[in-house]
Amino acid sequence: MDMVLQALTNLDIKKEMNNVKYFEVNDPYYAMIKAENEKNAMDVYHRLVADADDGMDLKEIERDKALIKYSQAMGEDKTLINPGEIYKEFNDDVQDILLIDGSLI
């Protein structure tokens, strides 16, 4: 864990980006989304995760919190996501799902 955080620090990943925000949805399925605004985050969720609006709880989270959660997540191969991929995901402007409920994979 300490190696991942050290590598992220070395990559200067904490650099702020313009117009990128991070959102979490816990119900009906968990997802962490990178998007420009709440409306776009909802659109990404509906397109890539679930169509349901009932009980959907979308909330914005701080970039550092999103970074910590993403850096601690396991990839599809059950290993930590490598720091280079974390750097790429957090520094591009693509609105996308960063994390998703494992039951949907």
The pTM is what?
0.76
For residue 69, CA distances in Å to 33, 47, 53 come to: 12, 23, 25
- Higher-pLDDT residue of 56 and 4 is 56
Does 47 score more than 60 pLDDT?
A: yes
Does 78 score more than 70 pLDDT?
A: yes
Tally of structural domains, the chain: 1
Instruction: Output phi, psi for 83, to 5 deg.
Output: -55, -35
pLDDT of residue 17: 47
Provide the mean pLDDT of the chain: 80
The whole domain housing 88 covers 2-104
pLDDT of residue 3: 57
Tell me the HSE value of 11 on the side-chain side, using a 13 A CA sphere: 18
Least confident of 3-7, 12-16, 52-56, 88-92: 12-16
Give strand pairing partners of 21: 35
Does 4 score more than 80 pLDDT?
A: no
Q: Is the CB of residue 102 less than 8 Å from the CB of residue 42?
A: no
